[in-house]
Chain A
Amino acid sequence: MKPEKTLVALAGQPNCGKSTVFNALTGASQHVANYPGVTVEKMTGSYRRDGTKVEVVDLPGTYSLTSYSPEERVSRDFVLHENPSVVVNVVDASNLKRHLYLTFQLLEMQVPLIIDLNMMDVAERRGIAIDTRELGRLLGAAVVPTTMKAGRGKEELLEEINRISASDRNQTTVQVDYGPMEPLLREIQDRLSATAKVPGEYPLRWLAVKLMEGDSEARTLVERSFSNPEECLDLVDKMRTAFESGEGEMPERHIAFHRYRAADTISRSCIKPKEGTESPLSDKVDRFVCNRFLGPAILVGVIYLLYYLSIVQGYNLTNYTWPLLAKIRGLTEAITPSPGFIEIPLIRSFALWFVDSINALLNYIPIFFILFGLIAILEDSGYMPRMAFMLDRLFSRFGLHGQSTLPMVLGGIYVGGCAVPGVMACKGIPDERSRLATILIIPMLNCLAKVPLYILLINIYFAGQKGLAMFFISTISLLLVLPVAKLLTLTVLKKKPTAPFIMEMPPYHIPTIRGVLGRAVERVWLFVRKIITIVAAVAVVIFVLLQFPGLSNERMALYNDKKEAAISSFYKKIAEVPFAQDLQGERLMALVLYWDEYKNAKMTARGKEAVEAVNAEFEKKDPAFFRMVNPGKDKTAKKVNRAFKGLIKERQQLLREIKKEKIDASFLGRIGRAVEPVTRWAGFSWRVNVALLSAFAAKESSVATLGALYDQGETGNQSLEQRMAEGEAGFTPLHALALMLFMVLYPPCIATTIMVKVQSGSFKWMIFSMFYPMALGLAVAMAVFTGGKALGLTGFQAMFAFYGLALTATIGMGLIKNREDFS
């Protein structure tokens, strides 16, 4: 009887074309999740055949199935505990011997196995001819030759999956002969079979081999599922010691040798000898790509292109997508209650705040889409390992890893990156200590959203040295990040496990459009799902903190009086204009809204024709209003228009004053004041504190909030630069420097924080990633401000001094050695 649902697992070493097989089998129906408790991605997909749903799980690519890395543990546990109907072992036909090493480990686990001999085209090109029948006979498993890239062999593979999953599970497989270890394995096996709590739960020969290898997870398994585990484990320990002294070789090594020997025998007997061993094309390419001089130049070029295409061109693309988002905002404005003269309904300001917060992130989607597509190209082409190869020396000095390169580039190694994709890209770093260190430092790089604040401050306070100041702020983050990374690996991350660097340099591949687009879409979707929901929740919290408790009744009454005065003075001015006499009560408010709408419509209209269309539309809507908002040469209408403009200006000023007072009195404002005694040492006034606090939701907010806080509104046309310079009379370049440095080290935004949680797999590290930059940033800002003041330095001098210190710290930290793992 065929089961209702078939579960198929794809296993294989990296670079065997496993994901191509996965895509070919499952098509578009794919789903990404995480395995419980680890940060390894679980790819699942499905297809239908003969009315049966077949679920396919793409296990992570691993060279082996030990318990040393989370990927290997996950793959192994899946095969062991999820009882897949078939395991398809994807093997690179052009590298048979090496890939059989994993095949033997799968065979030992006694699962129904199909060998998908993939990349046959590459093998043929290299003149390798494989006798697949003989291979199948020698392994005791079904062998299907495929070139999945071109879809060749897919039908045969589907058929074989169907056949094997329907057949009896007890297939006899060929096992590796471990020579002198065999009697020991049999003894352990006998012991295990006598003590198993659930007979047949685990393949005993496999377990015996793992125990002899000294595998820690296998030991845990024995402790859990077998009675009298101590006795058995004692026996194993004795056997391991005896074997090592008897054979002069560690048991795990003996086992690996025999696997390779068996792989060698098999590959020899089914591969016809090939002539000559010329170096493969990839190696010829690498003579340039990894060249001492050309290599780094190409690397810089690639990074520049990545930056240019995604950040610069992606940003241009947002010009086309922004109107869509603006429409959503417009719609929100239309369906929420309209504003009064000075009273904005709470529901309206909330809805707009909410939409603005979400839009700010949705606006990044074009950039992310291009970025994720380019990363997929880098990953699929095989360039990533070359990047890691070239820069490992540099980064490993600071406790990071060659593979930290891409995450750091994405995070904004110079100016303009984004921490979210940066943290996401940390997934591939195999060494846990370096991975966590990279995740923790990425938010300190210069993300795109920090730049507006830098530009604002540099324009006001370093106007004379703009170029130098910009260079300082762009490069200082790297000089802070490297020593901090080293410091973290020497302290809080000291005990974290490291992994050897050893890495395959796979042949170059030409990425497929499908693979690249698929990955880009999938990652953008992950971003939307994970981030937007949380940011929405936080937006609500910040809104409440900024809006409440609100203004007292007395203050509101005062503003009401001002409003009445403004309106009556307006009426006085237009008293002699007959056609304006119906502007009473609600009609006046209607005109205010009409005016706003008209101004907005004209702002978005491009070209003469569009403006004329807007005019026609508004004239049709209300001819009397139109005459007032667009008086042309009509003298009386001009008079009304002028008076009305004055009224609008007064209204805007009142609204701004109310908003500012509201923020001043808000919970966030109170917090800002409460921490002022501390932040004063860093030169931050409570207003700056409020701006920094609001930046936590998204860094862009810092400038927007400063805008609201410094809005004096006397003249209305002053830029924020001028207003800020006036509003903070005592603010010097030294203040600005401290503020910029704090911004460099500023805690990650909410979106990044969520990614830190996802990639570090721990709530603890998420919290840590929020607080240590705050402490560090405050310490640096205080040192610069208070120290600079004590030494009587100007902002510019302090900038130089700090740069020198950071450079010294970086070099000094690079000289300290990290704890070594292997001895």
Chain B
Amino acid sequence: MTLDELGPGSTCRIKRLSARDKLGQRLLDMGVYPGTQLKVIRNAPFEDPMEVSMEGFFVSLRHEEARFVEVELR
């Protein structure tokens, strides 16, 4: 399953990144890489983007970007 399908409050582990190039690199640079624990914090008032936290670090991203992050629920 992919990150964009998760709602606020769910926790998961990142399994794989399927984005390449710019988006892939940017996700990596922000600490989105396999093995990391991730928690969905909230969605923006208009549902998109979403905010997630990884080890106390908060990041917001659009759902269309989260689509490229494969996760497994914990």
**B34 CB contacts on chain A under 8 angstroms:** 257
* Contacting pair A502 B26 (CB below 8 A): yes
Q: How far is the CB of A506 from chain B (nearest CB, A)?
A: 8
Within 8 Å CB of A286, what residues of B?
41-42, 51
Contact A501 B49 (CB under 8 A): yes
- Fill in one digit per residue for B21-45: 1 if any A CB lies within 8 Å of its CB, else 0: 1111111111111100000011011
* Chain A residues with CB under 8 A of B26: 68, 499-500, 502
In the bound complex, how far is the Cα of B27 from the Cα of A614, in angstroms? 72
Chain A 282-305 interface mask (CB, 8 Å, partner B; 1/0): 110010001111011000000000
Partner of A501, one of B25, B29, B32, B60: B60
* Cα distance, A382 to B34, chains bound together (Å): 28
A258-288 CB contact bits vs B (8 Å, 1 = yes)? Answer: 0010000000000000000100101100100
CB closest chain-A residue, reference B62:
A501
Among A68, A296, A391, A392, contact of B25 (Cβ-Cβ < 8 Å): A68
From 41 to 74 in chain B, residues with beta carbon under 8 angstroms from any chain A beta carbon are 41-42, 44-49, 51, 53, 55-62, 64-65, 68
Does A803 sit at the interface, judged by CB under 8 A? no
In contact, B44 and A505 (Cβ under 8 angstroms) = no
Q: Is A252 an interface residue (CB 8 A)?
A: yes
CA distance A174 to B26 in the complex (A): 25
Of A93-101, A226-234, A725-733, A736-744, the segment with at least 4 beta carbons within 8 Å of chain B is A93-101
Most-contacted residue by chain A among B23, B53, B59, B64 (CB, 10 A): B23
CB contacts (< 8 Å) of A501 on chain B: these are 49, 60-62, 65
Which residues on A sit within 8 Å (CB–CB) of B46? 390-391, 393-394
A502 and B60 contact, Cβ closer than 8 Å, known pairs A66-B25, A392-B49: yes
Question: Does A24 sit at the interface, judged by CB under 8 A?
Answer: no
B59 interface neighbour in A66, A390, A503, A821, Cβ under 8 Å: A503
On whether the beta carbons of B22 and A822 are closer than 8 Å, the reply is yes
| Neighbouring A residues of B44 by C-beta, 8 Å | 290, 389-390, 392-393
Please tell me if the beta carbons of B60 and A252 are within 8 angstroms of each other in the complex.
Answer: no
> Chain B nearest CB: distance from A301 CB in Å?
15
Bin chain B's interface residue count. Answer: 35 or more
In the complex the two chains form, is B58's CB within 8 Å of A282's CB?
Answer: yes
B65 touches A502 (CB 8 A): yes
Of chain A, the residue at the smallest CB distance from B67 is A822
A250 at the interface (CB under 8 A from B): yes
- Evaluate contact between A504 and B59: CB separation under 8 angstroms: yes
A283 and B54 CA atoms in complex are apart in Å by 13
List the B side residues contacting A505 at CB < 8 Å.
51, 58-60
**B27 contact set on A, CB distance < 8 A:** 500, 502
The interface residues of chain B, by DSSP majority, are classed as mixed
- Using an 8 Å CB-CB cutoff, how does the interface string of A231-268 with B read, 1 for contact, 0 for none? 00000000000000000001011001100100000000
A500 and B22 contact, CB distance less than 8 A:
yes
Is A63 at the interface (CB under 8 A from chain B)? yes
Q: Which residues of A have CB within 8 Å of B23? A: 500, 821-822
A64 CB–B CB distance under 8 Å: yes
Cβ distance A681 to chain B, nearest Cβ, rounded Å? 41
CB-CB under 8 A from A63, the residues of chain B are 29-30
Known: A501-B65, A502-B26. A256 touches B20 (CB 8 A): no
Are A252 and B41 in touch, CB under 8 angstroms? no
Cα distance A390–B50 in the bound complex, in angstroms: 10
Identity of the chain A residue whose Cβ is nearest the Cβ of B31 in the assembled complex: A98
Report whether B58 and A500 are in contact in the complex, using a CB–CB cutoff of 8 Å. Answer: no
B60 touches A385 (CB 8 A): yes
Bound form: Cα–Cα A280–B57 in Å: 10
Is A290 a contact of B42 with CB atoms below 8 Å? yes
Shortest CB–CB separation between residue A451 and chain B, in angstroms? 31
Q: Does A396 contact B (CB under 8 A)?
A: yes
Q: Is the CB of A500 within 8 A of B61?
A: yes
* Interchain CB contact under 8 A, B22 and A499: yes
Q: How far is the CB of A385 from chain B (nearest CB, A)?
A: 7
Q: Which of A391, A394, A503, A821 contacts B60 (CB 8 A)?
A: A503
> Residue of A at shortest CB range from B21?
A822
A292: chain B residues at CB < 8 Å are: 45
* A253 in contact with B48 (CB, 8 Å): no
Complex: how many Å from CA A392 to CA B22? 20
Within 8 Å by CB of B28, from A256, A277, A283, A291, lies A256
Q: B-contacting residues of A (Cβ < 8 Å)?
A: 63-64, 66, 68, 95, 97-98, 101, 250, 252-253, 256-257, 260, 277, 280, 282-283, 286, 290-293, 295-296, 385, 389-394, 396, 402, 499-506, 820-822
12 A-B pairs with CB atoms under 8 Å apart are: A64-B28, A68-B26, A277-B56, A291-B45, A292-B45, A389-B44, A392-B44, A501-B60, A502-B59, A820-B64, A822-B65, A822-B68
The 4 closest A-B pairs by CB, nearest first: A393-B46, A64-B29, A505-B58, A822-B23
Q: A283-B41, A822-B19 are in contact. List 18 more A-B contacts (CB 8 A).
A: A252-B24, A256-B29, A260-B31, A277-B56, A286-B41, A392-B44, A392-B49, A393-B46, A394-B46, A500-B61, A500-B62, A502-B30, A502-B59, A502-B60, A502-B62, A505-B51, A822-B21, A822-B23
